[in-house]
Chain A
Amino acid sequence: MSEADKQFNIHDYLREYLFPHFLCPGCGHGIALRALLWAIDELDIDKDRLAFVSGIGCSGRLGAYIDANTFHVTHGRPLAFATGLKLARPDLEVIVITGDGDCLAIGGNHLIHACRRNLNITCMMLNNEVYGMTGGQVSPTTSDDRFTTTTPYGNHEPVFDACALAEAAGAGLVGREITLQTPSLKDVLKQGLAHPGFSFIEVMSDCTEVFGRKNDLGSSAEMVLTQKASVRPDFLENAVDQPFRPHQIKTGILASNDRPEYAESYRNHIDAMKRDHGHA
């Protein structure tokens, strides 16, 4: 099929009988799901080879809506399940959908080790700064001074930079994008999917209904725009840090390395051991 013949149709990838989906009006997670499916479509990955593993949360729930192999697992553990799956079935394209709470709080330990192992898994973390599903508790990425049900005086805990964490822990590719830049987000996800090691992609999503309301952040459209004003794309990386805008976040591909992919190096190692030590 030529480029022109093949046009991405999101409905080819949805379990339509479950729609309308359960997300609140204007929830950024929906836009992120489109970008992910769009990236998959452009890479022409066979649906039968697609395996989504997602945890608990509004973000984790997204897996249910995708018409492919999907595993909805326990809170914080999608990376642990994905690790087993990828080791057993390296032929599958394993994609994890997780949230900031799922991935960095209860599941933070799994994230570090997934980055360290560098299995060929793509992890899309939807960061909305809050535990959306459970009504708006503070999360490791809640910004300074934001109100949540567990920070009635405003959050005072330092914020986790998930991308810096993933990079430090050795992830093969690290990227970040906001939902409003859907085509760029799709491209970042595409690079993540194509990368042979562990890819960690942070999507700056927004919880309009719970977090937005609690913090008076305006309509969904306004929240998305505010996000746009707070990012600094990677092509501006060398720009002077702006002292009066300490919250500016970098977007684009932020780090990559070519460390060996674990499933492959593990198999090679086993083969070598069998050969050298005469094990059957």
Chain B
Amino acid sequence: MAESMPSRAPRRTDKTPPAPAIQVAEKPVNVLVVGVGGQGVIMVSKVLATLCQRQGYQVKQSEVHGMAKRGGSVFSHVRFGETVYSPTIPLGEADVLVALEWAEGLRWLSYLKPETGIFIADTQQIVPPFACRNRQHGAGSGYARETVADVIAQVANCYAINAGQIAQELGNSKAGNTMLLGMMSTTLDFPADDWREAIRMFAPPKAIDINMQAFERGRDWVETHDPADLDPNQGGDQPAPIVEVMHEAEFELPVINRAWCKRCDICVKFCPERCLSLDEEQIAVLHAPEKCTLCRICERLCPDFAIDLKYKH
């Protein structure tokens, strides 16, 4: 079976650098898939593992999703070849690193093979709340400031695009994962139809069409771009865009019940964003709603139950 993995088909024009070649030799091929909770890291690695198995390889997959529910790191090692012993990829041994989130990708870069490793990344950033210096919902952060250009300079092969946004344009941002699978499909020489079939097995039935389109878009990107090309969608020399801050705004702005407020000033003094004050009648008002982070401290500390943040759902 080993011979059936020749280097990737030469689809490129003369201008493009030689394609990265992944061989299944006596050592297994290592693919590391990383992201944060809820993104579909496990789905991506299952598609790959199933596909490899169907190609007749031995596959080992191991995953860690400890803090997944809290927006923490999720990663999955997929190793396949004639014989695979250890389920985990050693440092500096990954042939492909697939990152569903930019900062997670950066975190795992040292796992890539320095000379030949291929980095496939969605440049979207999902920032956990504790990394936000400005606690405002939806605000930016100083999180993962490395630009795509910075990373291109560091790794052998880098394909970084704003897959989430492109998939959004196709109708479902979640299909960004499948776009990355499309990109990956060009680096492992399995028949494209086998990839499509494996994706069909794991994509939600309603989203199969969008996922198929996303898969083609991913393949197209690699075929038409150099690894060093920057995604015009996002200006690759800028820090990656933040698409989502993990904490959702689940509450509405604080509402103050004027009839119950006793002017004690506690909410005013303890609001971390200083957005409350006492008005001319000495009753609490939210004078700077734009600064409110919905932290609910005012609600908790009001001894008079005069502040409510209504739950949205």
Interfacial residues, chain A to chain B (CB-CB below 8 A): 4-5, 7, 9-11, 14, 19-21, 23-31, 34, 179-180, 182-183, 208, 219-221, 224
Contacts and interface: CB of A to CB of B under 8 A. Distances in A.
B262 A20 contact: yes
Given A26-B262, A220-B266, A21 B300 contact: no
B313 A5 contact: yes
Given A7-B311, A31-B303, A179-B301, 10 more contacts: A14-B305, A21-B305, A25-B263, A26-B265, A30-B304, A31-B300, A34-B300, A220-B303, A221-B268, A221-B270
A26 B305 contact: no
B283 to A, nearest CB: 11
B265 A23 contact: no
B1 interface: no
B264 interface: yes
Interface in B243-299: 250, 259-260, 262-266, 268-270
B313 to A, nearest CB: 7
A31 B301 contact: yes
B311 A208 contact: no
B166 interface: no
B203 interface: no
15 contacts: A4-B250, A7-B311, A14-B305, A19-B305, A20-B262, A20-B304, A23-B304, A25-B304, A27-B303, A30-B302, A30-B303, A30-B305, A183-B300, A220-B264, A224-B266
B305 A208 contact: no
Contacts of A26: 262, 264-266, 303
Nearest to A182: B300
Given A25-B262, A220-B266, A221-B266, A4 B301 contact: no
A180 B269 CA distance: 12
A219 B269 contact: yes
Contact of B301 (A19, A24, A27, A182): A182
Interface of B: 250, 259-260, 262-266, 268-270, 300-306, 308, 311, 313
A127 B264 CA distance: 20
Contacts of B311: 7, 9
Contacts of B260: 19-20
B306 to A, nearest CB: 8
Most chain A CB atoms below 10 A, which of B266, B270, B303, B313: B303
A105 to B, nearest CB: 24
Contacts of A10: 305
- The 8 A-B pairs at the shortest CB distance, nearest first, are namely A30-B303, A26-B264, A221-B269, A25-B262, A25-B264, A7-B311, A182-B300, A20-B260
Nearest to B261: A20
B86 to A, nearest CB: 37
A165 to B, nearest CB: 27
A34 B305 contact: yes
A4 B302 CA distance: 24
Nearest to A27: B303
B264 A208 contact: yes
Contacts of B265: 26, 219-221
A29 B262 CA distance: 14
Contacts of A19: 260, 305
Contacts of B305: 10-11, 14, 19, 21, 30, 34
Contacts of B304: 20-21, 23, 25, 30
A66 to B, nearest CB: 12
A208 B269 CA distance: 15
A10 B262 CA distance: 18
Nearest to A224: B266
A182 B301 CA distance: 7
Contacts of B269: 219, 221
A5 B259 CA distance: 29
